Amino acid sequence: MVKRKHNQEFETIVGDILTHSEFQKLKLIEHHGNGLYEHSVAVGYHSYRVARVLGLDYVSVARGALLHDFFVESWRGKKKNSKGIQRIKDMHGFSHPKTALVNAQKYFDIDELQADMIIKHMFPLTPVPPMHLGSWIVTAVDKFVAAREMIFEKSHPIEALKGILLKA
């Protein structure tokens, strides 16, 4: 029952985020066939597990990873009025880490390491590399989870996380 122990520990670490009314709005946003809420929980959970195995501050990594895509506006079909370099900067792939960081700082207490995890998670699309091992974990896990969602999961959440998702 190691998995159950980890599930419970993860819930204890991030429960206040999972149940926060603003974070719950991620449930309304579609992302690779899953909700953005399910995607965020998957990235948070797997980053937490990796950080734990590596002996890192897994509490910090779990919370930073969970908040990496904390934007509550759907980005599909949005028209951009900017041009040139600014237009590229305004594109969702480049701009959403900043939006997520602003929201994370607005609603939760996050430290410098967690800010780095959020703002750098799209590397190498955004050019500045992560500064800390925790941030490298989040950017790698995010890509793994997104690829897995696109290939296998389509419209249902990852099995191991169902309990957490149902309770939140």
For Fe ion, which is the closer residue by CB, 142 or 153?
142
Q: How far is the CB of 138 from Fe ion (least distance, A)?
A: 9
Site string for Fe ion, 57-96 (x = CB under 5 A): ------------x---------------------------
CA distances from 85 to 43, 82, 157 (A): 30, 9, 37
Q: State the CB neighbour count (10 A cutoff) for residue 76.
A: 8
Q: Check the CA dihedral 15-21-24-29 and report its sign.
A: negative
d(C-alpha 47, C-alpha 66), whole Å: 9
Cα-Cα end-to-end distance for the chain? 21
For Fe ion, which is the closer residue by CB, 38 or 142?
142
Q: How far is the CB of 39 from Fe ion (least distance, A)?
A: 6
Q: How far is the CB of 93 from Fe ion (least distance, A)?
A: 8
Site string for Fe ion, 23-62 (x = CB under 5 A): ----------------------------------------
Site string for Fe ion, 120-159 (x = CB under 5 A): ----------------------x-----------------
| Angle between helix 36-53 and helix 58-66 axes, rounded to 10 deg | 160
For Fe ion, which is the closer residue by CB, 8 or 128?
128
CB 61 within 8 A of CB 132: no
CB 29 within 8 A of CB 35: yes
For Fe ion, which is the closer residue by CB, 8 or 102?
102
Instruction: Please tell me the count of residues contacting Fe ion according to CB under 5 A.
Output: 2
For Fe ion, which is the closer residue by CB, 83 or 120?
120
CA distances from 162 to 40, 92, 156, 166 (A): 13, 28, 9, 6
Which residues of the shown chain bind Fe ion in the complex (CB under 5 A)?
A: 69, 142
